[in-house]
Copies of this chain bind each other. A is one copy, B any other.
Amino acid sequence: MVETSVDCVIFGFQHETLKVLLIKRKNDPSKGLMALPGDFLDEKTSIYGSAENTLKKITDLDNIFLEQIQAFGRVDRYPGKRVITISYYALINIENYSPTAGYTAEKLEWCDVDKLPELAFDHQRIIESAHKKLKRRVRYEPIGFNLLPEEFSLTNLQQVYEAILQIELNKRNFRTKLNQMKLLIDTGKKQKNVAHKPAILYKFDEKMYQQLKEEGFYFKL
């Protein structure tokens, strides 16, 4: 019999770098190694629901951006028995996150996406796939916002994109493009206590996004 699990690649953004939330496994197999949070799939839960539950259990967050990556199913990916896994990636605002309950016994760690420790099973590959998918998705859907607090500056946003894509972007052009899209609302607020001209804080215009989406618009960075 083939068993099925669900694993989550949880991305966060901190100190201008893209992070992944990993756990230290407290049980065999691969006890002690770092790994993606996940669970076995049970008969009464959809796979998407199962990913939501995993996310909730570990971060205590609801209503998070969550998208399937793909299924991984090589015969030898898991020791001892046949387990295929269906992987999801999530984008969260690291400020809202609070490590909780079910996972307190384990060590939780935000790791740099390009400085990963040794990982259990094929989780390294899964994270690579997740990052690759994110890189693509981010170019034609405005999902980068999910990694930021509700209010953010344009520089914050640019840094998110630079961290995800691992390239430098031109400030002038980045701002011009974002302006054209009309997806940002000026909150009227500004940064405080910064030793330079304070940046305007924006928020993402969810309604405009839905509207543009229906018109067949697509976000192009």
Contacts and interface: CB of A to CB of B under 8 A. Distances in A.
A86 B85 CA distance: 11
Contact of A71 (B43, B47, B82): B47
Interface in A46-102: 46-48, 68, 70-71, 73-75, 82, 84, 86
Q: Which of A2, A43, A70, A84 has the most CB of B within 10 A?
A: A2
A44 B2 CA distance: 9
Contact of A82 (B43, B73, B75): B43
Copies in the complex: 2
Interface residues of A, number: 21
The DSSP consensus for interface residues of chain A is loop
A41 interface: yes
A27 interface: no
A4 interface: yes
A38 B155 CA distance: 49
Given A4-B2, A43-B2, A70 B71 contact: yes
Contact of A84 (B4, B44, B70, B82): B4
Contacts of A44: 75
A93 to B, nearest CB: 26
A25 B145 CA distance: 45
A45 interface: yes
A1 B2 CA distance: 9
Given A68-B70, A70-B71, A71-B71, A47 B84 contact: yes
Nearest to A4: B2
Interface string A22-52: 0000000000000000000111111110000
A109 to B, nearest CB: 28
What are the 4 tightest A-B residue pairs by CB atom distance, in nearest-first order?
A47-B73, A71-B71, A71-B86, A43-B82
